[in-house]
Amino acid sequence: MKQRISVRAIIRSNGKILLLRRSDGRPEVVGKYELPGGSIDDEQPVDAIARHVARATGLVAETIQLTDTTSFSDYDHEVQHICIVYVIGLKQTKDKLSLSQSYDHFHWEAMQNIQRDVLTDATRQILHLLQHSVMPTTTGTLLHNDDEKTTDASHIIIYSDGGSRGNPGPSAAGFVVMDEIEQVIHEGGSYLGITTNNQAEYHGVQLGLEKALELGVKRIDFRIDSMLVVNQMNGVYTIKNRELWPIHERIRELVAQFDKVTFTHVKREFNRLADGMVNKILNAHAQE
């Protein structure tokens, strides 16, 4: 699987995010909206994002703040993406936004009003990851309204987690299944006995995949607060611990039964529901 590293910029104004519509590139991205950014040449990521923002919009970044790094795999094209996301503050000038030839339109839109089907895959992943972040602002206009939002029953989001009290020690795994607008449609988990934190994290993924099979969905976006598990599932890290090999292989077998499964890292505070499920199971077992 090939690996691509890119940078993307979150530029916000009055609660609205800057989105650019592609006019060239691969067929699957033309006509779709994305966050400003692009690939990294022989340069530092922070220099790359400043260059891409200036080239795409004609705007100059005054402040550049790293907010997170996400990785996910595109199994259709056999590409593993690593995306470094920055929050950009712009210089206060009277210069108007000027698009490069790669874009033919721009919009500023509130997060809750953005329709998933107008976005590129990468931008859709990033905005779901960062939808609760507090970011700097610029200026802008409106794109869509709430009445236009739709959901896809074949696509779900799963937050999964696992924990061990002792590492190794009494362990549990939990997961929460959500629809595209992140409304909970199922939650569950299991007591695992004596295992490690990493084993418990993997069991959370397995349980989520098994539930997804029962639901008959075709596409899954996993949100996991373990960077290690995310990078191992995306092939960035190799698995050296032999105890994880069997469950990792089982997960791979399950993944192969879906059209598309992505794994994205989220901060722990955005994974509270799955974490709460783990603690609920552990507390209940401790009282037995």
Tens-place pLDDT, residues 106-153: 999 888 788 888 999 888 878 876 654 433 333 322 223 333 334 567
pLDDT of residue 4: 81
Longest dimension (CA), the chain: 67
pLDDT of residue 103: 96
The C-alpha atoms of residue 173 and residue 277 are separated, in whole angstroms, by 8
pLDDT at 30 over 80: yes
Provide the CATH topology of domain 2-148.
Answer: Nucleoside Triphosphate Pyrophosphohydrolase (3.90.79)
pLDDT at 287 over 70: yes
pLDDT of residue 133: 42
Identify the bridge partners of residue 193 per DSSP, sorted by sequence position: 171
Closest CA to 142 of 103, 111, 180: 111
Per-residue CA distances from 171 to 8, 167, 277 (Å): 37, 8, 12
Measured from the Cβ of residue 203, the count of other Cβ atoms closer than 10 Å reads 25
218 φ, ψ (degrees, to nearest 5): -110, -30
The CATH class for the domain spanning 155-286 reads alpha beta
Whether pTM exceeds 0.75: no
Give the tens place of pLDDT for each residue, 53-108.
999 999 888 788 877 777 766 666 677 778 888 888 876 655 578 999 999 999 99
CATH 3.30.420.10 in the chain: give the residue spans: 155-286
CATH 3.90.79.10 in the chain: give the residue spans: 2-148
Is the distance from CB of 47 to CB of 37 less than 8 angstroms?
no
Q: Kindly report the average pLDDT of the chain as a whole number.
A: 84
